[in-house]
Amino acid sequence: MGTGIGSGLLVNGLTYRGASGNTGEVGHICLDLTGPECWCGARGCLEALAGPAAVVERARANRRLARAAGLARRNSVLTDFAALSRAARRGEAGAVALLEESARYVAVAVRTLANVMDLEAVVLTGPSFAIAGASYLPAIRDELERAFFARTTHVPEVHLSRAAATAPAIGAAAMVLQSELVPLHDGLRLPDKLNVSEPPLASPA
């Protein structure tokens, strides 16, 4: 989670890219058919409901909260989201409520992805999780423990990346280096039929 919300998928240890390299767009899972319009053209997407930009705009709409969080001047989404997160840590009720609402939406989207992919683990990463991960981690864990489809067999582990602020950039650079320096040969490519006994790992960012 940065200014938007996405994910990277690791299947049997390899990055799954999809047909066009656009896999993992959890930010565009629809959570409300009549919700706000998203920049992608759909309505009720996770990003439009609970992404950092949406959370900041809701905070701005509350004049008292905007003053308390220091949002009088419009800055970058990440800067304003950080200010709102600091207000929540100070106990500002409006900020706490907005982050908790966002976390519940994100948790439902993570559960959806976990159900589809039968995930083994989820790693929260990206600059916005680096800022406010403590507000999101409990909600996601609770949602998976409560409502993950295969919870009687296993529940995906949920962790906050120790390098959340820089992990997406490092991962992108590593993918470029891997493709140039360690090209996959046939023996390392994913088989046509995946071994379903080895569940995938997802890393929302």
**Residue range 40-44: average pLDDT?**
96
Q: Look at residue 1 and tell me if it is in a domain.
A: no
Taking the C-alpha atoms of residue 147 and residue 92, their distance in angstroms, rounded to an integer, is 30
> Edge-to-edge, what's the strand order for the sheet holding 121-124?
14-16, 7-11, 201-204, 121-124, 157-160
Could you report the per-residue pLDDT of 72-112, keeping only the tens digit for each? Answer: 888 999 999 999 999 999 999 999 999 999 999 999 999 99
Q: Please, which residues have CB within 8 angstroms of residue 117's CB and are 6 or more apart in sequence?
A: 9, 199, 200, 202
Q: Look at residue 191 and tell me if it is in a domain.
A: yes
What CATH number does the domain containing 195 carry?
3.30.420.40
| pLDDT more than 90, % of the chain | 68
Q: What angle do CA 69, 75, 76 make, to 5 degrees?
A: 110
Q: Look at residue 187 and tell me if it is in a domain.
A: yes
34 has a pLDDT exceeding 80: yes
Q: Look at residue 177 and tell me if it is in a domain.
A: yes
Q: Look at residue 2 and tell me if it is in a domain.
A: no
Could you report the per-residue pLDDT of 55-70, keeping only the tens digit for each? Answer: 999 999 999 999 999 9
Give residue 151's pLDDT: 97
Give residue 201's pLDDT: 56
- Label residue 184 by pLDDT band (50, 70, 90): low
Is residue 155 within 8 Å of 113, Cβ to Cβ?
no
Q: Look at residue 84 and tell me if it is in a domain.
A: yes
Domain that holds residue 40: 7-204
- Report the predicted TM-score, pTM, of the whole model to 2 decimal places: 0.82
Taking the C-alpha atoms of residue 48 and residue 35, their distance in angstroms, rounded to an integer, is 8
Q: Identify residue 118 by its one-letter amino acid code.
A: D
Residue with tokens 């989207």: 109
Count: domains in the chain: 1
- Helix, strand, coil shares of the chain as percentages rounded to 5? 50, 10, 40
